[in-house]
Amino acid sequence: MPIKDYGVWKATPVKYTVEHDSDDSVSPHLSLYFDDSGEPTRLASRSAHRSRSSGLEIPGLFRAAINIKSGDRKESRLAYWVNHNFNQHPKVNDLTDLTLGFHPLGDRESDTSSTGLNLDYIRGNLFTINDGRILPHDIEGPNNDIIDVLEPEVKQAIDKKAEIYLFGSRFNTQDGIHNIHMNQGNNRKFKRDDGVFQDGGILINYPDSGEWVGVFLGFASQAVHTDDKTGHAITSETWEDYLDSERQPADLTENSVRIKEALVAPLGPDGLQRRSVTLTNPTDHTMPLSRWKIHNSAGQSQALPKDAALGAMSTGAFSLPNCPLASRGDTITLVNDQGLKVDGVSYCSQKKGIEGRPVVFAH
């Protein structure tokens, strides 16, 4: 059953507190306090204060309860991604028009497209998977635990008076939000929370510079591939397999073929639109691509040719007559013959379209 009261809360961050191992070693949180009135708050001058304990709710402010440790006793580490180029994702086109406050996003269990505001770590191409890290809660040393990497992003958002978009479940008391993490591919204990297009996350907009930052949190034990309807795990591959260099298996699904480039072409003189995607094979063996498909954000797809293949360390372009790519922004997802995601990218052009010129994706 999907999580309850899923939505996005647009607000202004005001203050944060964080629980270290000495405060709570079982279920610690970073509490981000925020305001959605649009008015200056008297607590703003204390925004940079760092507390070692989260405390209770603050009157007049809402609270985001952000998990910084998993409840899985066997694997308590988190998967963490930060995308400092989130302005290149098409979701920003719709987010900027939101008013302050909480916006319910509803249940999209039956919709496998990536349009709309709902977040989905697997289907939404929100970040480059291999850019992530597996991090413990709180250990000695710099830049080696979740507090070290998450706290600076939160502090900067407060100091620079950014706009934040918090995705997750609203409290039953409606004075805060939680489940600000991936909500699918869970182990048996938390399987009841699985669903698609209901993942949590933090998007930060700095209006003065136009910068967008996406902060995404998952649990190391969560599955990388999930069912399109239920969000339940369908393979044994986890974020730990992909992001823990000490354990990474040799043949992982999402490390096999990559999307290198896309051409969003205008209509030609014959009335046809010549769209294409360029794929690259980074492995040392040939990759057969028969029955593989390319999907866009609207759920449309293009099957690759029956004899399609990429030799070792080679690159090839494939036309997309049946898979339109929007000039203002879209997601492109490559799935294999089993329907498992192999790679995913996104692009956005807020001021003008990008027809007729290639979009190159960094991996």
> Does residue 99 sit in the same domain as residue 228?
yes
pLDDT at 178: 98
Same domain, 198 and 217: yes
Say how far apart CA 83 and CA 294 lie, in whole Å.
Answer: 23
- For residues 234 and 260, membership in a common domain is answered with no
Q: Is 248 within the bounds of a domain?
A: no
Last residue of a domain, one of 243, 267, 283: 243
**Total domains present in the chain:** 2
- The residue count for the chain: 363
Judge contact between 278 and 261, C-beta under 8 A: yes
Counting as low any pLDDT under 70, the low residues of the chain are 1, 41-56, 107-115, 247-255, 265-273, 350-356
Handedness of CA 210, 169, 219, 148 (dihedral sign): positive
Position 167 in a domain: yes
pLDDT recorded at residue 273? 58
In angstroms, the CA 262 to CA 355 distance is 10
Q: Which of 164, 360, 344 is nearest to 262 (CA)?
A: 360
User: Going by C-beta distance under 8 Å and a sequence separation of 6 or more, which residues neighbour residue 113?
Assistant: 297, 298, 299
CB of 161 within 8 A of CB of 258?
no
| 22 and 121 within one domain | yes
Is 116 in the same domain as 213?
yes
* Residue 275: per-residue pLDDT: 85
- Provide the pLDDT for residue 274: 74
Locus of tokens 């094979």: 281
- Structural domain including 353 reads 253-360
Residues 279 and 144 in one domain: no
Q: In the prediction, which pLDDT does 106 show?
A: 77
pLDDT score of 326: 87
CA atoms within 13 A on the CB side of 21: 8
Taking the CA atoms of residue 276, residue 280, residue 286 and residue 291 in that order, the dihedral angle to the nearest 10 degrees is -40
pLDDT tens digits for range 118-160: 999 999 999 999 899 999 999 999 999 999 999 999 999 999 9
CA 90 – CA 117 distance, rounded (Å):
10
CATH of the domain at 277: 2.60.40.1260
State whether 213 and 282 are in the same domain. Answer: no
229 shares its domain with 159: yes
Q: What is the pLDDT of residues 32-56, one digit of tens each?
A: 999 999 887 655 444 444 444 445 6
Does 86 map to a domain? yes
Q: Which of 191, 222, 243 is at the close of a domain?
A: 243
- Whole-structure pTM value: 0.89
Q: Which of 234, 250, 228 has the alpha carbon at shortest distance from 333? A: 228
Domain shared by 15 and 104, yes or no: yes
Q: Are 262 and 325 in contact (CB under 8 A)?
A: yes
How far are the Cα atoms of 39, 70, 125 from residue 207, in angstroms, in the given order?
17, 33, 23
Q: Which of 201, 150, 194 is nearest to 179 (CA)?
A: 201
Residue with tokens 């794929």: 279
**pLDDT value for 133:** 97
Rounded to 10 degrees, the C-alpha dihedral 291/295/299/303 comes to -30
Q: Alpha helices, DSSP H only, in the chain?
A: 92-95, 146-159, 239-243
Tell me: do 228 and 257 sit in the same domain: no
Single residue among 214, 243, 272 that ends a domain in this structure: 243
**Structure tokens belonging to residue 18:** 């964080």
